[in-house]
Structure 1
Amino acid sequence: MPATPTPSPALRRVVLGALVGTALEWYDFFIYGTAAALVFNRLFFTEADPATGTIVAFATFGVGFVVRPFGGVLFGHLGDRIGRRSTLIITTVIMGVSTGLIGLLPTYPAIGVLAPVLLTLLRVCQGLGAGAEFGGAATLLAEHAPPGRRGYYASYAQTGVQIGLVLGTSAFLLVQLLPEEDFLAWGWRVPFLVSFALIGVALYVRLRVDESPVFQEMARSKEIVRLPIRDALARHPRNFLVGVGAHICDTAVVYTLATFSVAYATGRLGLSSRTALLGVILFGLTVIVLQPVYGHLSDRVGRRPLNLFSVVFVAVFAFPYFLLVDTGVTWLVWLAMMLMGAFGFAPQVAVQPVFYAELFGARVRYTGFAASRELGAALAGFSPLIGAALAARMGGAPWLVAAFLAGTAVISFAAFYASRESKETDIWT
């Protein structure tokens, strides 16, 4: 390991690059989920009744998760061979362009069945870009961070994701101030079209970031492997499986809250979409505030205790969460979302960037990180669709959805229990 730590200005640029880049890219990914809950069932799947249209819209939302592992393997391969920074530049362009193009799509009344087909294809492109975005940003942060502070600095990658959630939800909250006729005619397109402008912002910030010192050392000593995914599976099979299971619970939680809960609150409970979206924003803000706190705490007590605490809370709170939401009382709905965010979601995701970075050796870190995490996301990414189907089976009641959330917590608990404490890991090895 070099005798001198990463210079402070360079580290600040890396933190800013991860924060801004992940915020803007995940803004792209999250607004699709909000649109699926509020508008796509009426504009792209009009042949179906409203409930079926919502389920089909959530199915296209889940398609993005199916392809995320492929994006993780493809761009992870590039990240371990040509560099973390260069690969993130590529994913930024893919995410921004595919999201902007959704805002230009004709709807079902205009071009018929071609409209949902094109929508799904662009969702696939989003999924490919998202499959490598978080793994690359988190790897870059973890490899720049000084020893003993990796958890704190790496947590900013996940902070960016939550900022993306808040920005995307806020964008839809603003355009919903339009008369409904205008919102359905053109207003819903605005959050997607904004992505074209955000590409420039993200690229400006990321082009100023230095390449990972760990990757630079690998390139200098010619330690770059030919096929990273093969080496990741061969050298780290146990950790790869841990990585798959570790991402199931938090994926189910965030998309159940940010997508299914919006559809449930507006459709079943009759709450306004503004009330539901404000709840998601409060959830996101709660998580944003707590990310560096939990990241710092993980440097003190370790990654494993926080992960285990978080999934246990999800299992215990899943039914009380829906009891609070089912009251239909605005402040109780918001309280439920904030509590789940503060204790069931924030600890897991704050620790997640450094946890995954420490699961794999330097030569296959990007690929192992992105592929295992996104495979877990693929398994849980259909949570809004599953939630809608389970609620429909119960006549609209959410109790099977609560049981589903608790079940995902059990799976991730098993993964975290099988993991080893890694806060003393040598990130350069």
Structure 2
Amino acid sequence: MYDNARTKPAVKVALATMIGTATEWYDYFLYGTASALVFEKLFFPNFSQVAGSMAVFAVFGITLVVRPVGAAIFGHFGDRFGRKSMLAVSILVMGIGTFLIGLLPTYASIGIAAPLALVFLRVLQGFAVGGEYGGATTMAIEYAPANRRGLYAAIPQMGNPLGMLLGTISLYLFAQLPQAQFLAWGWRLPFLLSAVMVAVGLYIRLNIAETPAFNRAQAARQSTRAPLVQLWRNYRRPLILVILAQAALNVGFYIYSTWSLSYLTHEVGVPIHVPLIAVMAAAALNVFAQPFFGMMSDRFGRKPVYAAGAVWLGAVSFPFFWLLQTGSPVLITIAMILAITIGHGATYSVQASFFSEAFDTTVRYSGLSIGYHFSAALFSGPATFLAAALVAWTHSTLAISAAISGATLVSLAAIAGLKETGNTPMADAPDHSGWTGASAEAENLTEPRGHSRAGIDAR
């Protein structure tokens, strides 16, 4: 058990990373929500409704392609020089991108330069968020008590639904303006207000200490000059499985939380406020679902909780769209809660500890970041674009539900190949067993550069 002197900094770091993460995801989700409401009209006005929707979600997907690049760069420097500094850089870059989107002239003002500038700023956002997830999660879990890693790693994950909630609330409030005013200037204010959140988040991140695990690795001179090379050499198999295990989450979540807003307003014909309120309700509950499922993983193990969440994401895909198609605000809200609060909550919260524990300290930032963001690029990027195309082609959501269910099968196969890590110590040093640094039974820790091993962080 942790004594109070060590538990207090762990709580402080977990809360600090949650606040910073909420700020970054607020910025990131603003585009996803606004894309379904205004960007099609303002930046792609000469497109048909279907083509405009596909163009908007193609721009959304661009960030997912860039995120692995940011993950590799932030992960490299985060594993070499520390987690804290990279988290400060990532939130600053994200804030600049979001603020500038709020200042962008529209197509009516500068023509084709408007969507091109939007693409550039979305690329900047994607690069920044590539450093966020791995850094925040790594800091939280490296401070966490050994028997509470699932809970502590889930606390930064609360920032994801919290950022979604804040972003949706801000757009909802300004969407109450007359449509002409909302399209003229109202949509810009949530983007510009992000500067305040970024300033708060940056201040908090600059005032937290580097993790004990990283400091131990530095003191023992176990850091590597080439984290990506070491990651691929020693952790190739778990890295690939981590990427594939997220298929259900990454395909399902962006369709449920982002594309469905466009579907509801364009195809079902409900007013804008209906899906926004539904997403707000689901996101608000999801803030509390994250630590709940994190605690469940501490008690029952990472694999069963994560696998159950993946199965749920696939199973709910058919009733989700049936509920949306009723046009009932109550049933639409229930659909969002089933998909986002439960499905996303059970997977996103647990993968923070499950995947972090698959890598040792010297490559943990890189491994977690690349595994997370490469999976997002592989699965989430095409998901919203293909969903728009499939509905336009088939005039049905059955193919979309089938795709989410298929992604669940991919996830389950990958989860089966990963080891349970909930009850094993986290490794400070590299494991060359060919599997994962999380296994205490299969330890084969090296003693690089003539120094004694730093030891396993049994805490």
| TM-score, reference length from structure 1 | 0.97
Aligned-partner Cα distance in 1 for 2:411–2:129: 21
Q: Which residue identity is paired with 1:393?
A: W
Other-structure match for 1:391: 391
* Pairwise CA distance, 1:18: 1.1
SS of corresponding position for 1:194: helix
Aligned-partner Cα distance in 1 for 2:411–2:151: 22
How many residues are paired up?
A: 427
| Conserved 8 A contact 1:214-1:428 | no
**What aligned pairs does 1:98-137 form with structure 2 within 5 A after superposition?**
98-137=97-136
Other-structure match for 1:338: 337
Other-structure match for 2:299: 300
Aligned-partner Cα distance in 2 for 1:331–1:4: 46
Aligned-partner Cα distance in 1 for 2:412–2:156: 23
| Conserved 8 A contact 1:286-1:341 | no
**What aligned pairs does 1:22-421 form with structure 2 within 5 A after superposition?**
22-382=21-381, 383-395=383-395, 397-421=396-420
Answer with 306-315 or 181-190: which moved more.
Answer: 306-315
User: Greater CA radius of gyration, 1 or 2?
Assistant: 2
Aligned-partner Cα distance in 2 for 1:315–1:185: 40
**Aligned-residue CA RMSD in angstroms?**
1.4
Aligned-partner Cα distance in 2 for 1:416–1:428: 21
| Conserved 8 A contact 2:29-2:164 | yes
Q: Which residue identity is paired with 2:398?
A: W
Aligned-partner Cα distance in 2 for 1:5–1:212: 17
**Which runs of 5 or more structure 2 residues have no equivalent in the other structure?**
429-459
* Pairwise CA distance, 1:40: 0.8
Aligned-partner Cα distance in 1 for 2:5–2:359: 21
Aligned-partner Cα distance in 2 for 1:340–1:114: 37
Runs of 4+ in 1 over 3 A off after TM superposition: 2-6
| Conserved 8 A contact 1:279-1:333 | yes
* Pairwise CA distance, 1:5: 7.8
SS of corresponding position for 1:39: helix
Change (3 A) 1:129 1:153: same
| TM-score, reference length from structure 2 | 0.91
* Pairwise CA distance, 1:411: 1.4
Aligned-partner Cα distance in 2 for 1:279–1:263: 13
Aligned-partner Cα distance in 1 for 2:2–2:154: 25
Q: Which residue identity is paired with 1:70?
A: V
* Pairwise CA distance, 1:6: 6.1
Change (3 A) 1:172 1:3: closer
Q: What is the CA deviation profile of residues 54-86 of structure 1, one whole-angstrom value per residue up to 9, with x for unaligned ones?
A: 110000000000000011100000110110111
SS of corresponding position for 1:345: helix
Q: What is the CA deviation profile of residues 267-292 of structure 1, one whole-angstrom value per residue up to 9, with x for unaligned ones?
A: 11111111011111112122112111
Q: What is the CA deviation profile of residues 259-314 of structure 1, one whole-angstrom value per residue up to 9, with x for unaligned ones?
A: 11101111111111110111111121221121111111101110000111111112
| Conserved 8 A contact 1:6-1:144 | no
Aligned-partner Cα distance in 2 for 1:144–1:72: 21
Aligned-partner Cα distance in 1 for 2:361–2:230: 11
Q: Which residue identity is paired with 1:364?
A: V
Q: Which residue identity is paired with 1:391?
A: V
SS of corresponding position for 2:402: helix
Answer with 251-260 or 65-74: which moved more.
Answer: 251-260
Identity %: 37
Aligned-partner Cα distance in 2 for 1:232–1:5: 35
Q: What is the CA deviation profile of residues 347-367 of structure 1, one whole-angstrom value per residue up to 9, with x for unaligned ones?
A: 111101111210111110000
Q: Which residue identity is paired with 1:41?
A: E
